[in-house]
Structure 1
Amino acid sequence: MRQVLVAGGGRSGRAVARALAGRGDAVRLVDRRTDAVTEELAALGVRYAGDLSELPPDVDLVVTSPGWPPTQPLLADAGRKGVPVVGEVEIAWQLRDPAVPWLAVTGTNGKTTTVGMLTAILRAAGLRAAEVGNVGPPVIEAVVDPPEPYDVFAVELSSFQLHWAPSVAPAAGALLNIAADHLDWHGSLPAYANTKAGIWGRGASVAVVNADDEYVVRLAGALPPSARVVRFTLGEPAAGELGVRDGLLVDRAVAAAGEPLIEAREIRPPGPHNVANALAAAALARAAGVSADAVAQGLRDYRPGAHRNVTVARIDLGGGAQVRLVDDSKATNAHATAASLTSYERVVWIAGGLLKGAVAGDFGGLIGRVRDRLAGVVLIGRDRAVIAEALRRHAPDVRVIDIASAEHRGMAEAVDVATDLARSDAAARAGEVVVLMAPAAASMDMFRDYAERGRVFADAARGQDGARPE
């Protein structure tokens, strides 16, 4: 009987404790909450171990919450003592049915959208697909106790999950992009990027590679010669790639001449970054044998999740002038925000929050690309001064308004100010100006999570004078 210590009593921790105890392991749960062991877990023999910083002497395996970094005292102690530390995804991989393939997605941005697109494609092909991982149910729940038999898993994996999943090798894995993120957890950009490259199973998986991202291409160059690589690009595809030809998504990985999939204008949400996400989803599905017709139907069926570049209200000012208010609360870093900002011609940008270790220099490239689009910037949140400094350096002529109010009041004030700026600019131009809440930062300084931040923004947007909710 293995002695297993589960570190963290969140949903994934409870799920893995349940699965391992049900298979005969002696399981103890570490958590600050003394009630972390539920009645169900207690009935399976799971015991509460307390809030430990040192490893007990009899532990054979530690299964950690994905958010716990290797420097966390308990995990660091396990490392010093040579006790293996893995995550819930690794345990799910060990317990999986090898006949059910995993199609997996990671990247700094676009993971959730791509997995949603992939799931819709798989279901359009008539497959029973489970959408699991980083934002869905823990993978182990679908592996161990599925509500129905599954044919395939569409798995979203964060860098944290991949770090603690050393043997996972999906049938096909897509790396969408790499930009500085979570450096406070990983310690450096190379460490973060190399962890992300684990999605390719160290050459054992079909590696779906974004040919337009230099860092991803460089990582793919380290794959063994035997690895099967499928690239995607927003440009004309070369042989073996998926890309865009005359406004049409085309697959030259399966059909050398290029098999048409779907018109780029049909992809939702709009924007080049979402066309890239659709290409990645198509590449994964095609690697699993899905037809071109099912790819097209699935992409048409896909409905974007909330807080991802969603128009929540419009204000018609007459004479061709219009203000559109857009919620992209899911844009929690500069890379995601760049994709959002470049989707619109004229923008009042609401930004700020917790920057997760980012500094002013990390925003220089973004601001340099979009400064001519900016009708103004409204800054909120704890780390707003960092973005303000980047704006002073790279867009000194853009008007910047600082909102010091905390929590919901700050967002409501920001929307009022941003909408007034957008009204003036739209009237002067007789065109559309977008109030875009794409914060380039995490939300927990002012809100419970990015979803609450998006809801508060949407409520304030729909409450503006003359606003027509959407």
Structure 2
Amino acid sequence: MGSGQVTDSSAPFDFRGKHVAVAGLGVSGVPAAKVLHGLGARVTVVNDGDDERARTQAAELETLGVTVRLGDGATLPEGTELIVTAPGWKPDKPLFTAAHEAGVPVWGDVELAWRLRDRDGRKAAPWLAVTGTNGKTTTVQMLASILRAAGLRTAAVGNIGVSLLDAVTGDEEYDVLAVELSSYQLHWAPSPRAHSAAVLNLAPDHLDWHGSMEAYAADKGRIYEGNRVACVYNVADKATEDLVRAADVEEGCRAVGFTLGSPAPSQLGVVEGLLVDRAFVEDRHRNAQELAEVSDVNPPAPHNIANALAAAALARSFGVSAAAVRDGLRAFTPDAHRIAHVADVDGVAYVDDSKATNTHATEASLAAYESIVWIAGGLAKGATFDELVAGAAKRLRGAVLIGADRALIREALARHAPEVPVVDLDRTDTGAMLQAVQEAQRLARPGDTVLLAPACASMDMFTNYNKRGDAFAQAVRELGA
């Protein structure tokens, strides 16, 4: 509903004098409004909120001559010929219903960036694109590190904090872009055609936005449409291969798998502690190319090795050497709160994976350690935990539960790991983290890992997962003081 999208991206779009509505302020809306205004469009920004931040952003845009309507994101401005929406706006919003009925196309900021990428006579940088339920940001950052190690001008952009629109319209020229795309962004972007793309994994997420798992997967699968060289998929996740099979790609584009096992031809995988390539080599049925050692991946947890293989596959599709893959992985430093080792205290490792805000990410985190005292809980977002707990039960030394929906995890532990001691902290204040870490220390034995991998969102107790991870790290430091 509400797309009405123009899909002929080969045709230039002249914005001069066009009435364009930008739906939503924020990290994508403000840059979009500025770019469109600079191209001569008559821009009206509509925004649901009318808080202090929105008023500050509105004042900045109004000085440029952009019209801003705060507190009214539902009404289609009169004369609108195109809507450019923030990716998070749901397709069933009344604004898009009205646009659909009026025949007005709706683009996301990624669609706009694609349409503008080769303006002003510059050669457009090809896109190496990544999506998936988990691991997108890490994989894109690894990919950018590998591309830089190969001497290429690149940037990690998209759903990663760096605006793709700024990258394609700015003064800096790139040889290639490492692009992270969310399911929201892909929904509103029918036209982009990547050089190569990867879907890392698929698990239920954002179903309230997409409406169903099928719709969510279909939007993820858009990343493969029109790929020129390689569609990279996860051998362990058949749904990603199914999306490759369903994609309409350019002739000669190949399906390339990545696996934590020994790779078959046209795959990258792991052999005796080495990352190896049997896809981008001569005579891939007989030959393999060593790319790096597993120890070159930081941290060398299984899911992160999978991220590294996906990044390597995309880089190799672009002609990057094996040495650059190794050097780029060695140079890569993961962001905070992603399976980050905080400290060792009395022979126990304390690891912060606050970014594990859903069960799929937490499953990968739990699989990285043999004996775990698990700190979990928060806002479940409709998730269930039986499968997660059943799969990790043998690894659990104990569990400490915090947050609003901790009872759901406690009940799953009672069903599937009744022998595991559980501490249920009946509090949701920020100080609960210190108590949680102290209880975890009491349960842990030398050689164990105390792992913050909440499987839940943080907003019941903390502003975001970063603040939750910071509170965990501070509590650990107090243990060792």
Q: Same fold (TM over 0.5)?
A: yes
Percent identity (aligned): 54
Contact 1:182 1:357 in 2 (8 A): no
Contact 1:159 1:192 in 2 (8 A): yes
After superposition, the C-alpha distances for 1:296-355 in whole angstroms (9 at most, x for unaligned) are: 110111111100101112112xxxxx2111100111111111111111111111111122
Structure 1 residue aligned with 2:35: 19
What is the distance in 1 between the residues matched to 2:59 and 2:70? Answer: 16
Structure 2 residue aligned with 1:389: 411
What is the distance in 1 between the residues matched to 2:455 and 2:181? Answer: 20
Contact 1:29 1:37 in 2 (8 A): no
Contact 2:256 2:313 in 1 (8 A): yes
**What secondary structure is seen at the aligned counterpart in 2 of 1:220?**
helix
Structure 2 gaps of 5+ residues are 1-16
Contact 2:401 2:425 in 1 (8 A): yes
RMSD over aligned CA atoms reads 1.7
Structure 2 residue aligned with 1:130: 155
Contact 1:9 1:36 in 2 (8 A): no
Residues 1:196 and 2:220 aligned together: yes
Structure 1 residue aligned with 2:4: none
The one of 269, 272, 289 equivalent to 2:299 is 269
Deviation at 1:93, TM superposition (A): 0.8
After superposition, the C-alpha distances for 1:62-104 in whole angstroms (9 at most, x for unaligned) are: 1111111112332333234332222111111110135311111
Contact 1:208 1:231 in 2 (8 A): yes
Structure 2 residue aligned with 1:258: 288
What is the distance in 1 between the residues matched to 2:440 and 2:103? Answer: 54
Residues 1:238 and 2:268 aligned together: no
What is the distance in 2 between the residues matched to 1:62 and 1:264? Answer: 46
What is the distance in 2 between the residues matched to 1:64 and 1:133? Answer: 15
Amino acid at match of 1:229: A
Normalised to the residue count of structure 1, the TM-score between the two structures is 0.92
Deviation at 1:205, TM superposition (A): 6.0
The one of 424, 427, 438 equivalent to 1:402 is 424
The one of 354, 364, 376 equivalent to 1:351 is 376
Amino acid at match of 1:417: E
The one of 438, 453, 458 equivalent to 2:453 is 438
- Mark the CA change 1:327 to 1:28 in structure 2 (over 3 Å): closer, same or farther: same
Structure 1 residue aligned with 2:11: none
Contact 1:17 1:27 in 2 (8 A): yes
Divergent runs of 4+, >6 A: none
Structure 1 residue aligned with 2:9: none
After superposition, the C-alpha distances for 1:424-446 in whole angstroms (9 at most, x for unaligned) are: xx1xxxx4111100011111221
After superposition, the C-alpha distances for 1:417-467 in whole angstroms (9 at most, x for unaligned) are: 112211xxx1xxxx4111100011111221111111111111111111x36
Structure 1 residue aligned with 2:86: 65
Normalised to the residue count of structure 2, the TM-score between the two structures is 0.90
Structure 2 residue aligned with 1:208: 232
Amino acid at match of 1:337: T
Larger mean CA deviation between 62-71 and 398-407 belongs to: 398-407
Residues 1:185 and 2:209 aligned together: yes
What is the distance in 1 between the residues matched to 2:217 and 2:431? Answer: 37
Contact 2:61 2:68 in 1 (8 A): no
- Mark the CA change 1:382 to 1:77 in structure 2 (over 3 Å): closer, same or farther: farther
Structure 2 residue aligned with 1:319: none
What is the distance in 2 between the residues matched to 1:218 and 1:375? Answer: 38
Contact 2:273 2:293 in 1 (8 A): yes
Structure 2 residue aligned with 1:304: 334
Matched residues, number: 450
What is the distance in 2 between the residues matched to 1:310 and 1:37? Answer: 35
Structure 2 residue aligned with 1:111: 136
Deviation at 1:223, TM superposition (A): 2.8
What is the distance in 2 between the residues matched to 1:413 and 1:79? Answer: 53
**What secondary structure is seen at the aligned counterpart in 2 of 1:179?**
coil
What is the distance in 2 between the residues matched to 1:7 and 1:404? Answer: 41
Structure 1 residue aligned with 2:3: none
Residues 1:315 and 2:345 aligned together: yes
